[in-house]
Amino acid sequence: MRPYESDEKQISLPLRLRQAIAKLGADIAVARRKRSLTIGMMAERIGVHKNTYLKIEKGDPSVSFGIYAMALLFLGYPMHSRLSPSCRDDTGLLLDADHLPKRIRPPKEPKHYEAHDRRLSR
C-alpha cells in the first residue's frame, strides 16, 4: 500500500466516523496494556502481522472490520456489547412487526398459458 492511500481513505470518511474508529483503536490499546500483553502477543493471538495490529490501535479504517472484531473478542469484549449501540435500527423499531411479511419475494412474471396460445393459433 502506498503511504498516501490510507490518508485518502480517511479523508473520504466523515469526521465523526474517523473519530469513532480512532477511539475504538485507542480503547483496544488501553485494554491490551491493562492485560500486560505485548503488541506481538496480540498480533499472534488474533492472527495478524504486528504492523496490521498497530494499525488497529491507531484506528486505521483500512483494516478489516473482522480484525477489529477479533481483537475485541480476544480482549473479552462480546461483540454485541461493544457494537450494538451503533447498530440500532430506530426506523425499523417503529415498524409494526405484526404487519411485516415473513418472506420477501420478487414480483412474479405474468404467466403465458400454452393452451391459450394454441387456441389463438388455430
Cell numbers representing residue 50 in the block? 504486528
Residues 46 and 80: beta-carbon distance below 8 Å:
no
What's residue 56's pLDDT?
96
Tens place of pLDDT for every residue, the chain, 122 residues? 444 445 544 458 899 999 999 999 999 999 999 988 999 999 999 999 999 999 999 999 999 999 999 999 999 887 655 555 555 556 666 666 666 666 777 788 777 666 555 555 55
Taking every pair of C-alpha atoms in the chain, what is the biggest distance, in angstroms? 87
What's residue 57's pLDDT?
96
Burial 11-37 (b: 16+ CB within 10 A, else e): eeeeeeebeebbebbebbbebbeeeee
Determine the Cα–Cα distance for residues 23 and 72; give it in Å rounded to an integer. 13
What's residue 58's pLDDT?
96
Residues 50 and 43: beta-carbon distance below 8 Å:
yes
77 SS3 class: coil
Long-range CB pairs of 6-13, under 8 A, 24+ apart, other chains included: 6/60, 6/62, 9/61, 9/62, 10/60, 10/61, 13/61
pTM: 0.60
What's residue 50's pLDDT?
96
